Amino acid sequence: MNEYSLLLPLLLPLVGALALLLGHRSLYWQRVGGVLFASATFALSLYLVYVVDQFDYVVIQLGNWEAPFGITLVADRFSAIMVAVSSFMGAAVAVYALNEIDEARLKKFFFPLYLILIFGVNGAFLTGDLFNLFVWFEIMLIASFVLISMGGEKGELEGGLKYVCLNLLSSVMFLAGAGIIYGKTGTLNMADIAQSLSSSPDANWAISSSMLLLVSFGLKAGIFPFFFWLPASYHTPPSAVSAVFAGLLTKVGVYALFRAYTLMFVPIFPEVQNLILVLAVLTMVTGVFGAASHFDMRRILSFHIVSQIGYMILGLAFMTPLALAAAIFYLVHHIIVKTNLFLVSGVVIRLKGSCDLAKVGGLCKSAPWLAFLFFIPAFSLGGIPPLSGFWAKFALVKAGLEIESWFAVTAALLVGVLTLYSMTKIWGEAFWKKQPEDVDAQPLPNPVGSLRWMVAPIAVLALSTVLIGLFGEPLFSYSERAAAQLLDPQGYISAVLQTEVEVLP
């Protein structure tokens, strides 16, 4: 019975995509079905979180091939919360897309591809097999490739080309790393790899393949020095697409890094810890400087994805229970907030025809509700109490102070201040200052329906940010339990390989 809780969030988007493809003539069905299946996936993923929190691990051996020979699907607390929060974004952005995605894109199968993207993301979170992870990445990537370039405009094609090439390169690195690991250990099951690495007398050969995986996942996550494709491409597609990319795709890379270094590469982690720490700090710093130098709302937000990824990787580099819990909390907070900010930028474009800060202004007066809805996620990102970002940063900095990593803590705090600077820049330019008189800001021509469905998800996401800030205790204690699970790879290994000795009462 518990197995269904794991299978359903995975299968439902696929079934949905097929159903939408079968009814591709009816645009009404595309819209309704897209929202329906995305929301149902979210509902089922909540059930998965509930089940996993009760039973610690949910494991399925696909086709009844016993691990390590078959493909295993595993959900622990970390992957369950990732599935839940990304399905939440999937549902919210599907609603938003109702009023943003035009008919031409709907006819080019926007919603089926969108559901395939969610399918790939959820699969990547739930698989327990290294090569299977590669396949999920590819499913996710091919859907995202089409989504980013389907409009066929110059910017989209150009940004899409950069995105596609670098992601193909990262897949190649992944394949090479997985191949070497397979050649050395003779297994692809992540739990089995972890076991054979931890019991081998000399695990140092794994450093090279772990570096290949670090480059590959780092490219996808957008860490320094592999992030250049991200700010060059994320601002080109419609906001619904950028939002779901910003919220989900880079986080799959972060998830894979966490999974690799808390499970498979535990024995060699001390060797690479300093490298990851330095990369995390450089990611934070370069991202925030890039954001400070820009004057276009979506480009600023793209650079902030990079800088915030640094915080999460920092949690991984500290590798203490509190730091990992903080990183998981940070992931949840950041997915919600960043998706929301991109959704707001889409409304700004719709109202003013642009999100270049030099051209827009006066939104505080003409759309005070939007200013309010921007204020919450923006200042949550900057880490203002009592919003969710404050607690995420607070826990991370506390974890850094506990292990006396002064350098990283200083960087994290400085980057926090600079984040606040760029958020106030957007606030001051787009919302507070008067509309520049020499610029003729027109709303976008031919909007799709009213603004209603664009604003509703923004409000829901802003509300959840506030709720996480005010009543974050359950989520944080869940994160702590998830971190405890991550720090105990033996539990994961015995759950997957079923070597556990059953103790009968």
Partner 1 sequence: MENLIAVLVGVLFATGSYCLMRRSIVKLVIGVVLISQGANLLVFTSGGLLSGRPAFVPADGVMTPGSFGDPLPQAMVLTAIVIGFGLTAFLLALVTRAHEAVGDDDINAFNNTDT
Amino acid symbol at 264: M
CA distance 116 to 118: 5
Alpha helices in 383-446 (DSSP H): 388-402, 406-426
3-state helix, strand, coil in the chain (%, to 5): 75, 5, 20
Q: How far is the CB of 301 from partner 1 (least distance, A)?
A: 13
Name which of 155, 158, 142 is nearest 109 in CA terms.
142
Q: How far is the CB of 168 from partner 1 (least distance, A)?
A: 5
CA distance 505 to 338: 48
Which CB, 174 or 391, lies closer to partner 1? 174
Q: How far is the CB of 171 from partner 1 (least distance, A)?
A: 8
Q: How far is the CB of 219 from partner 1 (least distance, A)?
A: 13
Q: How far is the CB of 403 from partner 1 (least distance, A)?
A: 34
CA distance 331 to 411: 19
Which CB, 107 or 452, lies closer to partner 1? 107
Which CB, 425 or 433, lies closer to partner 1? 425
Amino acid symbol at 378: A
Q: How far is the CB of 133 from partner 1 (least distance, A)?
A: 12
Distance of CA 45 to the CA centre of its chain: 16
Q: How far is the CB of 477 from partner 1 (least distance, A)?
A: 40
CA-based end-to-end distance of the chain: 23
Three-class DSSP labels, 171-240: HHHHHHHHHHHHHHHCCCEHHHHHHHHHHCCCCCCHHHHHHHHHHHHHHHHCCCCCCCHHHHHCCCCCHH
Amino acid symbol at 81: I
Which CB, 164 or 203, lies closer to partner 1? 164
58 phi and psi, to 5 degrees? -120, 125
Q: How far is the CB of 376 from partner 1 (least distance, A)?
A: 27
Which CB, 195 or 216, lies closer to partner 1? 216
Which CB, 102 or 153, lies closer to partner 1? 153
Which CB, 294 or 352, lies closer to partner 1? 294
Crossing angle (nearest 10°) for helices 388-402 and 297-318: 40
172: its two tokens:
């190649």
Which CB, 71 or 277, lies closer to partner 1? 71
CA distance 51 to 77: 10
Chain residues that interact with partner 1, rule: CB under 8 A:
131, 134-135, 138, 141-142, 145-146, 149, 152-155, 157-162, 164-165, 168-169, 171-173, 175-176, 178-180, 182-183, 186, 188, 228, 231-233, 235-236, 290, 294, 299, 303
